[in-house]
Amino acid sequence: MSFEVVILTLMSGSVVGLLLGSFGGGGSVLAAPLLVYVVGVDDPHVAIGTSAAAVAAIALISLMRLWRGGRVKWPCATVFAVSGLTGALLGSSLAKLVEGNLLMLGFSVAMAAIALSMLRTPDDAGDPDVRLDPALVLRLAPTGVVVGLAAGFFGIGGGFLIVPGLMLAAGMNMSNATASSLVSVALFGAATSANYAISGFLDLHLLGLLLLGGLAGGMAGLRLSTWLDGHVATARTGFSCMVLLVAGFVAWQAGSALI
């Protein structure tokens, strides 16, 4: 591994960490494009498998922090995550069969969807004391499978789908759904990366550098988030527009390669 690749991977991880620390989500979707178009990873499958492992690790660290705060609704989160595990394994298995550039083209569509979802104003209405019952299980389980399928196929955390899925199926408020979603993000990411690793699509050296850069960027992002408190709407809009631009670039590059 060249010195240039090491530096570019650390920088890419720092960008992802900075955005995750600042906005609490969405930044992880940039990990795979950064590995492909900045670091220069030749195979998009390796980039997706490696970034999925990084997303899982970051989500697990965040989950430990929020767990202590009592915001995670474990019964509901567990049903959703375990149900979605099958979908994540199936989605990642299907993705490995798709040609790399075609997969990146689909990835750009997912990026655009994430960017657009961040433009809507979050609704915090919901039941902070939601309790799991058989009827709730019947709503959570199928929703988890569908969301896991999408997360596994694109190798993303899927938080932008998991949060509204939990709010819709379980009636959670935004705060509890965001915290509880990390259980699924960590599990889906781990399952996806493990599935890719079985086929040799996981670079442990890149993963280590990505996480190291992400740690430094995340610390800076947490400090930046305090400054952004008074400019949340403007900051989220700017970030969403940036992700849309990157999605357009990825679509153009992948489309050109396919043509």
- The dihedral through the CA atoms of 116, 118, 120, 123 has a sign that is positive
Q: What is the pLDDT of residue 224?
A: 73
CA atoms of 51 and 42, how far apart (whole Å): 14
DSSP state of 30: G
The answer to whether residue 45 scores a pLDDT higher than 80 is: yes
Phi, psi (degrees; rounded to nearest 5) at 65: -70, -45
Judge whether 127 and 176 are in contact, CB under 8 Å: no
pLDDT in the model for residue 69: 72
pLDDT tens column, 173-207: 877 888 888 899 889 989 999 999 999 999 999 99
User: In angstroms, rounded to a whole number, what is the distance separating the alpha carbons of residues 208 and 87?
Assistant: 27
**Tokens 């690790």 correspond to what residue?**
57
Rounded CA gap, 172 and 5, in Å? Answer: 43
Which pair of tokens denotes residue 65? 């922090």
Report d(CA 216, CA 70) in Å as an integer: 26
Rg (CA), the chain: 17
* Candidate from 99-108, 134-143, 224-233 with smallest mean pLDDT: 224-233
- Domain ranges, ordered by start, for the chain: 3-258
Whether the model pTM is above 0.75: yes
Distance, in Å, from the CA atom of 48 to the CA atom of 12, rounded to the nearest integer, reads 14
Band of pLDDT at residue 240, cut at 50, 70 and 90 = confident
Read off the pLDDT of residues 48-76 as tens digits, 9 standing for 90 and up: 999 999 988 888 887 887 777 778 899 99
At residue 121, what are phi and psi to the nearest 5 degrees?
A: -75, 120
The average pLDDT across 230-255 equals: 83
Residues of the chain with pLDDT > 90, as a percent, come to 44
Average pLDDT for residues 149-161, to the nearest whole number? 81
